[in-house]
Structure 1
Amino acid sequence: MLVIRPICLADFAALKQIAIESGHGFTSLPDNDELLLSKISRAQKSFTETVTSPGQQSYLFVLEDTQSKDIIGVTGIEAAVGLSTPFYHYHVASHVHYSPRLGVKKVVETLNLCNDYTGASEVCTLFVREKYRRGFAGQLLSRVRYLFMANHPERFSDLVIAEMRGISDENGHSPFWAWLETNFFGIDFPTADYLVGIGDKSFIAELMPKHPVYVALLSPEAQNVIGKVHEKTAPALRLLQKEGFFHRGYVDLFDAGPTVEVALRNIRTVQQSRLATVAISDEHQLSQAKADEQNYMLCSTNVSQFRATITPEVKYHSDTNSLLLSANTAAELGLSDGSDVRFIKL
């Protein structure tokens, strides 16, 4: 069975391997032992502390094959971004230049440096190892975050964002950054990406152009990638769009990948999921009840011992608002008779 759970120190080796496999542009998981250990420690603290409003908590989950014990992927949520260090974006804005006397009208776009998403919650760090990219692994890693947020809305902002990885090649070359590097920064994209990943963002304020940048002045290659996603990120973007996320003109400073947003209450999984009571049954009873021949995503409501999975081996009874589970499924999720469970039909 594939089960989502909070990350723990024993997952360090797997997390490091995922950081290596994710490659350039996956800023939230740089290949740095000290930082990865810090992420695990911060997540463990976040899962165990009492929270009444979003702060600097960071929730990091892993997807584990409970039979092989392999860590298949990782996913995370930042409760509120930009509280301790600036959270920069470019906002793409359009301006109309018009001369009635000459009869000339020109619409020009500019990139404006901003911190508009300060305080928003961010879904992030979603990565499925390549050999496991089949079945429901990606969907489970993506949507489980919304089930967790639906369980504990007090821990998160009313606005949720996701930064999408922009265009870069296998060597870490970003057409958008290449223009910035030449004109302002003097460091290559992998170096800038790594510095941001380890939290060293001071160079942005020191070297980033302070005034709006006219898009027309960028190289054609740089202009062409603004707001576009890396081919490996396209599936993740489609999942986000199905949840209601949309692009409002904000892009990453380094590779110009889009940042998408949605109100927490408008996330499809949040709206469609529901709480029920667990009723544990043996396999024969479950078979007799004719399980719905449909996959369900379900999770516990405990924070520190959170568990989630996808399975067809359940039966929902609307008259009693109860979810019939096998003893094995309940055990894997840490559930018992009478426990609360959140679920959604897929």
Structure 2
Amino acid sequence: MSFIIRPVKYDDLTQLVDLAKQFNLLNLPGDKKVIGEKIDRSELSFAGKLPKHKAEYLFVVEDIEEKQVVGSSLVIAKHGDDNVPHSFFKILKKDHFSEDLGIGFIHQVLRFQLDWDGPTEIGGLLVDKSYRRRPEKLGKQISLSRFLYMALHPDRFEKRVLCELTPPLTDEGRSEFWEALGRRFTGLPYQEADLLSQSHKEFIESLFPPDDIYLCLLDSKARLVLGRVGEATKPAQHLLENIGFKYLDEVDPFDGGPHYGANTTDILPIKYGKRLKVAEFNDAAYKEQALIATTGEDFKVSLGSADVRGNEVAIAPKTRQLLEIEIGDEVFMAPFNYSNRGN
């Protein structure tokens, strides 16, 4: 089968809504109106017509043979500005010592923070359930491909990249952390508060306590999920760790999910990616598996085999055909596997 990763188009609307309905992602809900607006915003963003704080880039995986959208990923160019700040809890340690008793404790506390000059954020990662566990590793492809676009257009993104990972939730989709903390200060159920926070942050700033919150005062169920990653999200966590992301000792103020981050230039597909000129070698040995992206206005990515020699690359004919690449064109190429490279 043949797959390409490309920017979303309005023609993808129906298929993308069907895909999103398989899941329950807050930043990509299965709602035709919301997804239609996201496609509009994405098309304007790729065209360079939106300021950074409003730009969102939505990528899709297309099964070329079936003409079917089977996956997606999202980049929010700037999450947190003067109008809607990025909010989180910083986890800190505080020492307390009693001279009288001769004993001390190291307490973990949550400190509410607002970032008015926020990072780029990645999210919206979906793969059709019938396409999972395929040898092409489509989830990994769609996740890594967005970094190739970021490498080609560094001025469109921030110097830091954030990913908010989903923590363990109850079978009913409830957050034990929110029940123990957020609900007591806002009176709102978790899903309603999380949805409202996408566009309004004032209620968080106004109702959340400004003082440190001692974790020992929360019930055990809430403490247990704090900073943890849900089972379904662990593959995404491992992929991020492999390419340079680290836990920031920060959590989401709603569900306690961990925030992972990295400096943009340290993310391995960006760090190890390079521009190359397409050539043809008589003795080409296509031994290197890599993500290969076009560098023109029509951005496309495919996983393919290549033979790199200096600043030139010979690309397997099937991949060249998929990406509509000619000899002499420039491509951007990044490794697909990072486990032996270290962070």
Name the aligned partner's letter for residue 259 of structure 1.
H
Contact kept? 2:90, 2:112, Cα under 8 Å = yes
Contact kept? 1:228, 1:258, Cα under 8 Å = yes
Contact kept? 2:278, 2:328, Cα under 8 Å = yes
Q: What SS does the corresponding residue of 1:21 show, helix, strand or coil?
A: coil
2:248 is the counterpart of 1:257: no
Name the aligned partner's letter for residue 109 of structure 2.
T
Instruction: Give the equivalent residue in structure 2 for 1:269.
Output: 269
Instruction: Give the equivalent residue in structure 2 for 1:159.
Output: 160
- Matches of 1:169 and 1:71, distance apart in 2: 30
Contact kept? 1:3, 1:65, Cα under 8 Å = yes
Q: Which deviations, in whole Å up to 9, do the C-alpha atoms of 1:144-183 show, x marking residues without a partner?
A: 1221111111111111111111111342111111113552
Instruction: Give the equivalent residue in structure 2 for 1:186.
Output: 187
- Matches of 2:316 and 2:149, distance apart in 1: 22
Q: What SS does the corresponding residue of 2:228 show, helix, strand or coil?
A: coil
Name the aligned partner's letter for residue 174 of structure 2.
H
Instruction: Give the equivalent residue in structure 1 for 2:80.
Output: 82
Counterpart mapping for 1:52-91 below 5 A: 54-83=52-81, 84-91=83-90
Contact kept? 1:75, 1:126, Cα under 8 Å = yes
Question: CA, structure 1 residues 55+206, in 2 after alignment: closer, same or farther (shift >3 Å)?
Answer: closer
Q: Which deviations, in whole Å up to 9, do the C-alpha atoms of 1:83-127 show, x marking residues without a partner?
A: 241211111111111122331211111111112473311122112
Question: CA, structure 1 residues 244+117, in 2 after alignment: closer, same or farther (shift >3 Å)?
Answer: farther
- Matches of 1:192 and 1:21, distance apart in 2: 22
Contact kept? 2:111, 2:212, Cα under 8 Å = yes
- Matches of 1:165 and 1:158, distance apart in 2: 23
2:11 is the counterpart of 1:10: yes
Instruction: Give the equivalent residue in structure 2 for 1:299.
Output: 293
Instruction: Give the equivalent residue in structure 2 for 1:95.
Output: 94
2:319 to 306, 319, 329: 329
Instruction: Give the equivalent residue in structure 1 for 2:113.
Output: 114
- Matches of 1:85 and 1:17, distance apart in 2: 30
- Matches of 1:40 and 1:170, distance apart in 2: 31
Instruction: Give the equivalent residue in structure 1 for 2:148.
Output: 147
Name the aligned partner's letter for residue 315 of structure 1.
D
Q: Which deviations, in whole Å up to 9, do the C-alpha atoms of 1:51-103 show, x marking residues without a partner?
A: 8x944311110011111012111111111111241211111111111122331
Name the aligned partner's letter for residue 117 of structure 2.
T
Contact kept? 1:62, 1:72, Cα under 8 Å = yes
Question: CA, structure 1 residues 61+72, in 2 after alignment: closer, same or farther (shift >3 Å)?
Answer: same
TM-score by length of 1: 0.89
Instruction: Give the equivalent residue in structure 2 for 1:241.
Output: 241
Which stretches in structure 2 are left out of the alignment for 5+ residues? 337-343
How many aligned residue pairs are there? Answer: 332
Instruction: Give the equivalent residue in structure 1 for 2:285.
Output: 290
Question: CA, structure 1 residues 180+91, in 2 after alignment: closer, same or farther (shift >3 Å)?
Answer: same
Please tell me the root mean square deviation across aligned C-alpha atoms, in Å. Answer: 2.1
- Matches of 1:254 and 1:115, distance apart in 2: 14
- Matches of 2:238 and 2:251, distance apart in 1: 17
Please, which moves more after superposition, 173-182 or 328-337?
Answer: 328-337
1:316 to 282, 301, 308: 308
- Matches of 1:54 and 1:37, distance apart in 2: 20
TM-score by length of 2: 0.90
Contact kept? 1:280, 1:326, Cα under 8 Å = no
Q: What SS does the corresponding residue of 2:22 show, helix, strand or coil?
A: helix
Contact kept? 1:6, 1:62, Cα under 8 Å = yes
- Matches of 1:54 and 1:191, distance apart in 2: 27
- Matches of 1:117 and 1:305, distance apart in 2: 33
Contact kept? 1:157, 1:264, Cα under 8 Å = yes
- Matches of 1:13 and 1:194, distance apart in 2: 23
Greater relative CO, 1 or 2 (CA 8 Å, sep 6+):
1
Contact kept? 2:162, 2:262, Cα under 8 Å = yes
